[in-house]
Protein backbone atom coordinates (compact mmCIF):
# COMPACT_ATOMS: atom_id res chain seq x y z
CA UNK A 1 0.00 0.00 0.00
CA UNK A 2 1.46 3.36 -1.04
CA UNK A 3 1.56 5.88 1.82
CA UNK A 4 1.08 9.58 1.13
CA UNK A 5 3.45 11.76 3.14
CA UNK A 6 1.07 14.60 3.96
CA UNK A 7 3.68 16.58 5.90
CA UNK A 8 6.85 16.22 7.94
CA UNK A 9 8.34 17.93 10.99
CA UNK A 10 11.99 17.68 11.95
CA UNK A 11 14.25 18.65 14.85
CA UNK A 12 18.01 18.40 14.25
CA UNK A 13 21.27 20.12 15.11
CA UNK A 14 20.86 22.01 11.82
CA UNK A 15 17.28 23.07 12.41
CA UNK A 16 13.82 22.18 11.18
CA UNK A 17 12.66 20.14 8.17
CA UNK A 18 13.18 22.93 5.63
CA UNK A 19 16.27 24.54 7.13
CA UNK A 20 17.93 21.31 8.27
CA UNK A 21 17.58 19.59 4.90
CA UNK A 22 18.82 22.71 3.08
CA UNK A 23 21.84 22.83 5.37
CA UNK A 24 22.51 19.13 4.76
CA UNK A 25 22.38 19.66 1.02
CA UNK A 26 24.95 22.46 1.40
CA UNK A 27 27.23 20.14 3.38
CA UNK A 28 26.94 22.16 6.57
CA UNK A 29 27.62 20.86 10.06
CA UNK A 30 27.11 22.33 13.51
CA UNK A 31 29.20 20.18 15.87
CA UNK A 32 29.74 21.21 19.46
CA UNK A 33 31.58 19.94 22.51
CA UNK A 34 29.46 17.96 24.96
CA UNK A 35 29.16 20.45 27.83
CA UNK A 36 28.94 17.95 30.67
CA UNK A 37 31.01 14.97 29.55
CA UNK A 38 34.64 14.19 28.75
CA UNK A 39 36.17 10.85 27.78
CA UNK A 40 39.06 9.52 29.85
CA UNK A 41 41.49 7.43 27.79
CA UNK A 42 44.44 5.44 29.09
CA UNK A 43 47.26 7.78 30.06
CA UNK A 44 45.08 10.91 30.07
CA UNK A 45 45.49 13.31 32.98
CA UNK A 46 42.19 15.02 32.26
CA UNK A 47 39.06 14.25 30.23
CA UNK A 48 39.18 14.67 26.47
CA UNK A 49 36.32 16.75 24.98
CA UNK A 50 33.76 14.77 22.97
CA UNK A 51 32.16 16.20 19.83
CA UNK A 52 28.39 15.86 19.41
CA UNK A 53 25.67 17.14 17.08
CA UNK A 54 23.17 18.39 19.66
CA UNK A 55 20.08 20.56 19.28
CA UNK A 56 21.75 23.22 21.38
CA UNK A 57 19.58 25.35 23.64
CA UNK A 58 16.54 23.13 23.09
CA UNK A 59 18.14 20.16 24.86
CA UNK A 60 20.84 21.83 26.96
CA UNK A 61 20.68 20.54 30.52
CA UNK A 62 18.22 17.75 29.74
CA UNK A 63 19.10 14.08 30.12
CA UNK A 64 17.37 10.75 29.57
CA UNK A 65 13.59 10.95 29.24
CA UNK A 66 13.53 14.74 29.52
CA UNK A 67 15.90 15.07 26.59
CA UNK A 68 13.68 12.88 24.38
CA UNK A 69 10.64 14.96 25.35
CA UNK A 70 12.48 18.18 24.43
CA UNK A 71 13.42 16.78 21.01
CA UNK A 72 9.90 15.48 20.36
CA UNK A 73 8.44 18.91 21.20
CA UNK A 74 10.52 20.57 18.49
CA UNK A 75 9.59 17.97 15.88
CA UNK A 76 5.87 18.27 16.66
CA UNK A 77 6.04 22.06 16.59
CA UNK A 78 7.70 21.96 13.19
CA UNK A 79 4.98 19.62 11.88
CA UNK A 80 2.25 21.86 13.33
CA UNK A 81 3.80 24.94 11.69
CA UNK A 82 2.92 23.56 8.23
CA UNK A 83 -0.08 21.33 8.88
CA UNK A 84 -3.39 21.78 10.65
CA UNK A 85 -3.17 19.09 13.31
CA UNK A 86 -6.71 19.81 14.52
CA UNK A 87 -7.74 17.32 11.83
CA UNK A 88 -6.27 14.50 13.94
CA UNK A 89 -8.86 12.56 15.88
CA UNK A 90 -9.53 9.25 17.63
CA UNK A 91 -9.18 7.47 14.28
CA UNK A 92 -5.57 8.66 13.97
CA UNK A 93 -2.88 6.25 15.10
CA UNK A 94 0.37 7.41 16.69
CA UNK A 95 3.33 5.13 15.92
CA UNK A 96 6.51 5.69 17.92
CA UNK A 97 10.12 4.79 17.15
CA UNK A 98 11.99 5.07 20.44
CA UNK A 99 15.26 3.73 21.84
CA UNK A 100 15.36 1.13 24.56
CA UNK A 101 16.39 3.28 27.56
CA UNK A 102 18.66 0.50 28.82
CA UNK A 103 20.67 0.75 25.59
CA UNK A 104 21.09 4.50 26.18
CA UNK A 105 22.22 4.18 29.80
CA UNK A 106 19.17 5.61 31.57
CA UNK A 107 15.89 4.44 33.09
CA UNK A 108 12.31 5.56 32.59
CA UNK A 109 12.31 6.73 36.22
CA UNK A 110 13.66 10.01 37.51
CA UNK A 111 17.12 8.74 38.40
CA UNK A 112 19.51 5.94 37.45
CA UNK A 113 18.69 3.93 40.58
CA UNK A 114 15.08 3.36 39.49
CA UNK A 115 14.40 -0.15 38.26
CA UNK A 116 12.83 -0.81 34.87
CA UNK A 117 11.19 -4.06 33.70
CA UNK A 118 13.49 -6.75 32.35
CA UNK A 119 11.65 -6.93 29.01
CA UNK A 120 12.56 -4.33 26.37
CA UNK A 121 8.94 -4.04 25.19
CA UNK A 122 7.82 -3.11 28.70
CA UNK A 123 10.62 -0.57 29.11
CA UNK A 124 9.81 1.13 25.82
CA UNK A 125 6.11 1.10 26.67
CA UNK A 126 6.87 3.00 29.88
CA UNK A 127 9.10 5.39 27.94
CA UNK A 128 6.30 6.05 25.44
CA UNK A 129 3.91 6.93 28.28
CA UNK A 130 6.44 9.40 29.68
CA UNK A 131 7.22 11.04 26.32
CA UNK A 132 3.95 11.35 24.40
CA UNK A 133 1.59 13.41 26.56
CA UNK A 134 4.21 15.90 27.85
CA UNK A 135 5.58 16.41 24.34
CA UNK A 136 2.25 17.19 22.72
CA UNK A 137 1.20 19.37 25.65
CA UNK A 138 4.46 21.37 25.56
CA UNK A 139 4.17 21.72 21.77
CA UNK A 140 0.72 23.27 22.20
CA UNK A 141 -1.00 20.54 20.20
CA UNK A 142 -4.25 19.20 21.62
CA UNK A 143 -4.02 15.47 22.22
CA UNK A 144 -6.58 13.67 20.06
CA UNK A 145 -6.89 10.53 22.18
CA UNK A 146 -5.85 8.16 19.42
CA UNK A 147 -4.14 4.79 19.76
CA UNK A 148 -0.40 4.70 20.54
CA UNK A 149 1.94 1.98 19.27
CA UNK A 150 5.64 1.82 20.26
CA UNK A 151 8.56 0.26 18.35
CA UNK A 152 12.21 -0.06 19.40
CA UNK A 153 14.17 -1.84 16.67
CA UNK A 154 17.26 0.37 16.78
CA UNK A 155 17.99 2.03 13.44
CA UNK A 156 15.21 -0.05 11.87
CA UNK A 157 12.57 1.19 14.35
CA UNK A 158 11.19 3.79 11.91
CA UNK A 159 10.66 1.11 9.26
CA UNK A 160 8.99 -1.12 11.87
CA UNK A 161 6.66 1.74 12.80
CA UNK A 162 5.87 2.24 9.10
CA UNK A 163 5.04 -1.45 8.74
CA UNK A 164 2.62 -1.30 11.64
CA UNK A 165 1.03 1.94 10.40
CA UNK A 166 0.65 0.59 6.85
CA UNK A 167 -1.00 -2.58 8.14
CA UNK A 168 -3.49 -0.62 10.24
CA UNK A 169 -4.27 1.80 7.40
CA UNK A 170 -4.79 -1.07 4.96
CA UNK A 171 -7.11 -2.90 7.37
CA UNK A 172 -9.05 0.24 8.28
CA UNK A 173 -7.99 0.20 11.93
CA UNK A 174 -7.01 3.88 11.56
CA UNK A 175 -7.79 6.57 8.98
CA UNK A 176 -4.42 8.29 9.08
CA UNK A 177 -1.21 7.97 11.07
CA UNK A 178 1.51 10.04 12.68
CA UNK A 179 4.92 8.37 13.02
CA UNK A 180 7.09 10.01 15.66
CA UNK A 181 10.76 8.96 15.81
CA UNK A 182 13.00 10.38 18.53
CA UNK A 183 16.49 9.50 19.76
CA UNK A 184 19.58 11.02 21.33
CA UNK A 185 23.12 9.82 21.90
CA UNK A 186 24.10 13.10 23.56
CA UNK A 187 23.17 12.54 27.22
CA UNK A 188 26.23 12.07 29.48
CA UNK A 189 24.96 8.62 30.53
CA UNK A 190 24.72 7.57 26.89
CA UNK A 191 28.12 8.98 25.98
CA UNK A 192 29.76 7.01 28.78
CA UNK A 193 28.01 3.83 27.62
CA UNK A 194 29.19 4.43 24.04
CA UNK A 195 32.75 4.92 25.27
CA UNK A 196 32.81 1.72 27.33
CA UNK A 197 31.42 -0.25 24.37
CA UNK A 198 34.05 1.28 22.02
CA UNK A 199 31.38 2.82 19.80
CA UNK A 200 32.37 6.44 20.39
CA UNK A 201 34.73 8.27 18.03
CA UNK A 202 37.65 9.47 20.14
CA UNK A 203 41.38 9.99 19.74
CA UNK A 204 42.10 6.30 20.39
CA UNK A 205 39.03 5.02 18.51
CA UNK A 206 38.87 6.88 15.17
CA UNK A 207 36.27 4.61 13.56
CA UNK A 208 33.44 5.18 16.03
CA UNK A 209 30.34 7.33 15.73
CA UNK A 210 29.95 11.04 16.39
CA UNK A 211 26.82 11.20 18.57
CA UNK A 212 23.82 13.17 17.43
CA UNK A 213 20.15 13.57 18.24
CA UNK A 214 17.03 14.14 16.17
CA UNK A 215 13.28 13.90 16.12
CA UNK A 216 10.87 13.51 13.20
CA UNK A 217 7.09 13.61 12.99
CA UNK A 218 5.60 12.21 9.77
CA UNK A 219 1.89 12.51 8.94
CA UNK A 220 0.78 9.66 6.67
CA UNK A 221 -2.43 8.69 4.90
CA UNK A 222 -3.45 6.25 2.14
CA UNK A 223 -2.44 7.58 -1.26
CA UNK A 224 -5.35 9.54 -2.83
CA UNK A 225 -6.60 8.68 -6.32
CA UNK A 226 -5.56 12.10 -7.59
CA UNK A 227 -2.45 14.02 -6.71
CA UNK A 228 -3.07 17.00 -4.42
CA UNK A 229 -2.89 20.28 -6.32
CA UNK A 230 -0.86 23.33 -5.33
CA UNK A 231 2.21 23.65 -3.19
CA UNK A 232 5.30 21.52 -3.54
CA UNK A 233 5.20 18.10 -5.24
CA UNK A 234 3.52 15.47 -3.08
CA UNK A 235 5.72 12.62 -1.88
CA UNK A 236 4.97 9.04 -0.94
CA UNK A 237 6.48 5.93 0.54
CA UNK A 238 5.98 3.57 -2.35
CA UNK A 239 7.21 0.42 -0.62
CA UNK A 240 9.44 -0.80 2.16
CA UNK A 241 11.02 -4.07 3.15
CA UNK A 242 12.46 -5.53 6.35
CA UNK A 243 14.70 -8.56 6.83
CA UNK A 244 16.96 -10.19 9.40
CA UNK A 245 20.73 -9.87 9.04
CA UNK A 246 23.83 -10.29 11.16
CA UNK A 247 24.03 -8.36 14.45
CA UNK A 248 26.94 -5.99 15.06
CA UNK A 249 30.16 -7.89 15.88
CA UNK A 250 30.23 -6.75 19.51
CA UNK A 251 26.71 -8.12 20.03
CA UNK A 252 27.66 -11.40 18.38
CA UNK A 253 30.66 -11.72 20.68
CA UNK A 254 28.53 -11.07 23.76
CA UNK A 255 25.97 -13.68 22.67
CA UNK A 256 28.72 -16.25 22.11
CA UNK A 257 30.20 -15.45 25.53
CA UNK A 258 26.86 -15.94 27.26
CA UNK A 259 26.31 -19.25 25.48
CA UNK A 260 29.76 -20.47 26.53
CA UNK A 261 29.14 -19.65 30.17
CA UNK A 262 26.80 -22.64 30.20
CA UNK A 263 29.61 -24.95 28.99
CA UNK A 264 31.69 -25.08 32.15
CA UNK A 265 35.14 -26.62 32.14
CA UNK A 266 35.66 -26.54 28.38
CA UNK A 267 38.41 -24.61 26.67
CA UNK A 268 36.95 -22.44 23.94
CA UNK A 269 38.67 -20.47 21.16
CA UNK A 270 38.13 -16.69 21.06
CA UNK A 271 34.70 -15.70 19.68
CA UNK A 272 34.74 -15.08 15.94
CA UNK A 273 31.81 -12.90 14.86
CA UNK A 274 30.40 -13.14 11.35
CA UNK A 275 31.30 -10.11 9.22
CA UNK A 276 28.36 -8.29 7.61
CA UNK A 277 27.70 -9.62 4.12
CA UNK A 278 25.43 -6.93 2.70
CA UNK A 279 23.12 -9.62 1.34
CA UNK A 280 20.18 -8.97 3.72
CA UNK A 281 20.24 -5.23 3.02
CA UNK A 282 20.54 -5.84 -0.74
CA UNK A 283 17.49 -8.12 -0.56
CA UNK A 284 15.57 -5.35 1.19
CA UNK A 285 16.52 -2.86 -1.54
CA UNK A 286 15.52 -5.29 -4.29
CA UNK A 287 12.18 -6.02 -2.60
CA UNK A 288 11.38 -2.32 -2.07
CA UNK A 289 12.46 -1.11 -5.52
CA UNK A 290 12.04 -4.09 -7.84
CA UNK A 291 13.67 -4.20 -11.25
CA UNK A 292 15.05 -0.87 -12.45
CA UNK A 293 13.58 -1.16 -15.94
CA UNK A 294 14.49 1.88 -18.02
CA UNK A 295 14.80 4.16 -14.99
CA UNK A 296 18.02 5.34 -13.43
CA UNK A 297 18.72 3.83 -10.02
CA UNK A 298 17.31 5.58 -6.94
CA UNK A 299 19.63 7.53 -4.69
CA UNK A 300 20.81 5.55 -1.67
CA UNK A 301 20.41 7.24 1.73
CA UNK A 302 22.57 5.31 4.19
CA UNK A 303 22.64 5.33 8.00
CA UNK A 304 26.41 4.69 7.95
CA UNK A 305 27.69 6.62 10.97
CA UNK A 306 31.41 5.84 11.05
CA UNK A 307 31.37 2.46 12.78
CA UNK A 308 33.51 -0.20 11.12
CA UNK A 309 30.80 -2.82 10.66
CA UNK A 310 28.57 -0.26 8.91
CA UNK A 311 31.43 0.70 6.58
CA UNK A 312 31.99 -2.96 5.73
CA UNK A 313 28.32 -3.58 5.04
CA UNK A 314 28.04 -0.40 2.95
CA UNK A 315 30.88 -1.53 0.69
CA UNK A 316 29.53 -5.07 0.32
CA UNK A 317 26.02 -3.74 -0.32
CA UNK A 318 27.31 -1.80 -3.33
CA UNK A 319 28.93 -4.99 -4.63
CA UNK A 320 25.71 -6.99 -4.14
CA UNK A 321 23.55 -4.35 -5.86
CA UNK A 322 25.97 -3.98 -8.78
CA UNK A 323 25.79 -7.74 -9.29
CA UNK A 324 22.00 -7.41 -9.63
CA UNK A 325 22.24 -4.51 -12.08
CA UNK A 326 25.47 -2.68 -13.01
CA UNK A 327 23.60 0.64 -12.94
CA UNK A 328 23.46 0.44 -9.14
CA UNK A 329 27.18 1.18 -9.22
CA UNK A 330 26.33 4.66 -10.53
CA UNK A 331 23.69 5.39 -7.87
CA UNK A 332 24.05 8.63 -5.93
CA UNK A 333 24.49 8.18 -2.21
CA UNK A 334 24.00 10.39 0.83
CA UNK A 335 25.00 9.87 4.45
CA UNK A 336 23.03 12.20 6.74
CA UNK A 337 25.21 11.27 9.74
CA UNK A 338 28.01 13.37 8.23
CA UNK A 339 25.96 16.50 8.99
CA UNK A 340 23.64 15.37 11.79
CA UNK A 341 25.72 12.76 13.64
CA UNK A 342 24.46 9.30 14.56
CA UNK A 343 20.74 9.49 15.36
CA UNK A 344 19.76 5.88 16.12
CA UNK A 345 16.02 5.20 15.99
CA UNK A 346 15.45 8.59 14.35
CA UNK A 347 17.92 7.87 11.52
CA UNK A 348 15.37 6.25 9.20
CA UNK A 349 12.95 9.16 9.52
CA UNK A 350 15.80 11.66 9.12
CA UNK A 351 16.94 9.85 5.98
CA UNK A 352 13.39 9.94 4.63
CA UNK A 353 13.19 13.68 5.32
CA UNK A 354 16.37 14.42 3.38
CA UNK A 355 15.08 12.25 0.52
CA UNK A 356 11.67 13.94 0.46
CA UNK A 357 13.15 17.41 0.42
CA UNK A 358 15.69 16.57 -2.29
CA UNK A 359 12.95 15.15 -4.53
CA UNK A 360 10.61 18.07 -3.87
CA UNK A 361 13.26 20.68 -4.63
CA UNK A 362 14.63 18.88 -7.67
CA UNK A 363 18.24 18.46 -6.55
CA UNK A 364 18.13 14.70 -6.02
CA UNK A 365 19.24 14.00 -9.62
CA UNK A 366 17.49 10.66 -9.28
CA UNK A 367 13.87 9.56 -9.87
CA UNK A 368 13.48 8.36 -6.27
CA UNK A 369 15.46 7.46 -3.15
CA UNK A 370 15.91 4.41 -0.93
CA UNK A 371 16.49 4.93 2.78
CA UNK A 372 18.68 2.19 4.27
CA UNK A 373 18.63 1.11 7.91
CA UNK A 374 20.90 -1.33 9.73
CA UNK A 375 20.07 -2.11 13.36
CA UNK A 376 22.89 -3.33 15.57
CA UNK A 377 20.70 -6.23 16.70
CA UNK A 378 20.42 -7.48 13.09
CA UNK A 379 17.30 -5.94 11.57
CA UNK A 380 17.66 -4.46 8.07
CA UNK A 381 15.24 -2.19 6.24
CA UNK A 382 14.86 -0.30 2.96
CA UNK A 383 12.23 2.43 2.39
CA UNK A 384 11.49 3.56 -1.16
CA UNK A 385 10.54 7.26 -1.31
CA UNK A 386 9.03 8.50 -4.60
CA UNK A 387 6.86 11.32 -5.94
CA UNK A 388 3.19 10.57 -5.31
Task: Kindly report, residue by residue over 357-379, the tens digit of the pLDDT.
Answer: 999 999 989 999 999 999 999 99
34 and 146 in a common domain: yes
Asked whether residue 299 carries a pLDDT value surpassing 60, the answer given is yes
203 and 275 in a common domain: no
How far the first Cα of the chain sits from its last, in Å, is 12
378 and 344 in a common domain: yes
Task: Read off the pLDDT of each residue in 61-75 and give the average, rounded to a whole number.
Answer: 95
248 and 104 in a common domain: no
Confidence at 260, pLDDT banded by 50, 70, 90: low
86 and 28 in a common domain: yes
Helix (H, G, I), strand (E, B) or coil at 68: helix
Asked whether residue 208 carries a pLDDT value surpassing 80, the answer given is yes
Please tell me the least confidently modeled range out of 7-21, 41-55, 217-231: 41-55
Among 379, 383, 382, 384, CA closest to 153: 379
Percentage of the residues of the chain whose pLDDT score is greater than 70:
94
Here the CATH number for the domain that contains residue 35 is 3.40.47.10
CA distance 89 to 208: 43
Last residue of a domain, one of 222, 252, 280: 222
Residue 170 within any structural domain of the chain: yes
Residue 228 within any structural domain of the chain: no
- Of 144 and 68, the structure prediction assigns the larger pLDDT to 68
Task: Read off the pLDDT of each residue in 142-153 and give the average, rounded to a whole number.
Answer: 86
CA distance 9 to 218: 6
Confidence at 311, pLDDT banded by 50, 70, 90: very high
- How much is the mean pLDDT over the chain? 91
Range of the domain at 344: 235-261+270-387
CB 65 within 8 A of CB 130: yes
202 and 243 in a common domain: no
Residue 335 within any structural domain of the chain: yes
pTM of the model: 0.94
186 and 44 in a common domain: yes
Torsion (CA) 320, 323, 327, 330 in degrees, nearest 10: 50
Residue 117 within any structural domain of the chain: yes
Residue 230 within any structural domain of the chain: no
pLDDT of residue 268: 67
Please tell me the least confidently modeled range out of 71-85, 238-252, 349-363, 369-383: 238-252
Number of domains in the chain: 2
159 and 60 in a common domain: yes
Is residue 225 classed exposed, middle or buried when 0-12, 13-18 and 19+ CB atoms within 10 A define those classes?
Answer: exposed
Confidence at 71, pLDDT banded by 50, 70, 90: very high
168 and 27 in a common domain: yes
Amino acid sequence: MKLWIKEMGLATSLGSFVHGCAAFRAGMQRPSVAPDYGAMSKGDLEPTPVTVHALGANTYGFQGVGRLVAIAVEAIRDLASRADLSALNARTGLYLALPDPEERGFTTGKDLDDEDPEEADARVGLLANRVVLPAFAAAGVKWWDGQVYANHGGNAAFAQALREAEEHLREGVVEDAVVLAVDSYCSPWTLELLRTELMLKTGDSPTGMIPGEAGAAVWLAPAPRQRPEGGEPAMAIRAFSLAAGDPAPRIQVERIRLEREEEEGEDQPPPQPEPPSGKALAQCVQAAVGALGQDAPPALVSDHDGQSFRAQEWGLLRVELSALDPRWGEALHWMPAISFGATGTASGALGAATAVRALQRGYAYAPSAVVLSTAETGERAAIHVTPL
